[in-house]
Chains A and B, each alone.
Chain A
Amino acid sequence: MDVILKDPGERDFLEWEEALGDALVPADAPLLTLEDGTGAVRAYDPRGFEALSHFLSKNLSPISSSDASVPAFRLADLLAHAGVARDADWMWLVMDSGLFGVGGPRHILEKGVVFPGGGGFRYVLSDEAARGVEDEVDACRDLVNVCGVRLADAPGAAEGAPA
């Protein structure tokens, strides 16, 4: 990046570069990547995720109220805020750096809640949200090390499935 200043102070560039460093995502930070399956991508590290509190209301229903400081958001709200939205009826939840993934109907899974936890991100689908479709979403009720959410076409269409 090039910055041109008129009549800069002695420390201007130094301070600018330090400030820029503060906007960096730490190299070892876990990331939660949201993809619409057609190219639109948005990612959050825990710090960026926490900053979403300014825009999204917290939903702590599936989490112990003892840790109210943890920001937790409904996945549907998160996707909408990130601008990752398209007409897709399936959703993959990707874990462990992309090694594993489970999927389910989008309209159910997006009722789940995401929050930082255990060195990564955790996804929880409440009993209430899963009511009546327990078998369909059994594998998606409580996931740790979640690193990605991807919208996709319905099962049977291979495209969109995690590698």
Chain B
Amino acid sequence: MNVPAHVLSGFLGVGKTTAVKDLLTRRADRERIAVVVNEFGTLGVDGALLSDCASCILKEVPGGCVCCTAMADLEASLEEVCDLVAPTRFVLEPTGLARPSELVDLLRGPRWASRFDVRPVITLLDPQQDLAKAYAESALFRDQVDTGDILVVSRCDLASEEEILRVEEFARALVPTKLLVVRASHGALPDEVWDLERPPISKVPTLLTTGGANGHLHGNSLEGHVGRGVAQPPERIYDADRLLALLERLKAGALTRGRVARAKGLFHTTAGRR
């Protein structure tokens, strides 16, 4: 029997790792879940965040995007996961800069189709983002939305009802209609998101799609995003207050000319590991 496989898509910082962590927390006792986490940065921060789960199988593919530069590493990780650990469920969490259509093509392609049962693609949306604008301007975001069979309005705990309704309206106006549009707070995706199977009917291309999946040239499509990782060994202790103030300044755009798309890390601080 093929292993149910999920591609969990969504832009940087939308809550993908939190959703995976929630899944592992709720199901690790009855399922053998393998997770492959891909990060655009050179450090496996998400992997470290998920490493508390003792019963899951975690593989990290840092240092690029799995739908292009890190594709070979992804395939090696898939091979290892399938051959060595025989999971009952597989989750691929690509970087927020990845195009999920490429990954779905890979998993449904000749090499993996006999091993994976690719479930509906899950795309997380941030209700505090201007999605209509992002959809119009970003081909990458469009790919994530269009490829997503299930759209999850994520981080509802941080958004207003008005913001949530606006996203739901956006999601329900998409053509073709999505299989599911649901809300999630604190990363807790409803069970139906993980349990839904892909219907056999092939999808009709969305009316709003401007390019086909085959037109993807990812080397030119990172849309100006550049990542850099700095390792933080345990002997480096940060002052918790100074670090927090610094991160606030980074978030506010006071430290860089470029806009911060994501900042994520684990530090040893004077208030413990943060």
Contacts and interface: CB of A to CB of B under 8 A. Distances in A.
A45 B270 contact: yes
Interface stretch (B26-34, B142-150, B200-208, B227-235): B227-235
B121 to A, nearest CB: 22
Interface string B249-261: 1100001111111
Given A1-B232, A23-B242, A25-B238, A31 B270 contact: yes
A2 B257 contact: no
Given A2-B227, A16-B250, A23 B239 contact: yes
Interface residues on A, range: 20 to 34
Nearest to B43: A2
A138 interface: no
A19 B270 contact: no
B45 interface: yes
B141 interface: no
Given A22-B242, A23-B246, A41-B272, A3 B237 contact: no
Contacts of A4: 12, 40-41, 97, 225-227, 260-263
A24 B237 contact: yes
Contacts of A41: 271-272
B258 A25 contact: no
Contact of A24 (B227, B238, B249, B272): B238
A131 interface: no
B242 A13 contact: no
B228 A13 contact: yes
A68 to B, nearest CB: 23
B267 interface: yes
B230 A1 contact: yes
A7 interface: yes
Contacts, number: 129
Contacts of A51: 241-242
Interface in A7-32: 7-9, 12-13, 15-17, 19-20, 22-25, 27, 31
B109 interface: no
A47 B241 CA distance: 11
A108 interface: no
B246 A19 contact: yes
B259 A5 contact: yes
Given A1-B263, A13-B228, A8 B243 contact: no
B270 A43 contact: yes
B258 A5 contact: yes
Contact of A17 (B225, B230, B249): B230
A141 interface: no
Given A42-B270, A48-B241, A1 B43 contact: yes
B42 interface: yes
A7 B258 CA distance: 5
B224 interface: yes
14 contacts: A1-B43, A1-B263, A2-B40, A2-B229, A4-B12, A5-B256, A6-B261, A9-B258, A19-B246, A19-B249, A22-B242, A41-B272, A47-B242, A51-B242
Given A4-B40, A5-B258, A42-B272, 12 more contacts: A2-B43, A3-B263, A4-B260, A5-B226, A6-B261, A15-B256, A16-B256, A23-B243, A42-B270, A43-B271, A44-B270, A47-B239
Would you list the 3 A-B pairs with minimal beta carbon distance, nearest first?
Answer: A1-B265, A2-B41, A9-B257
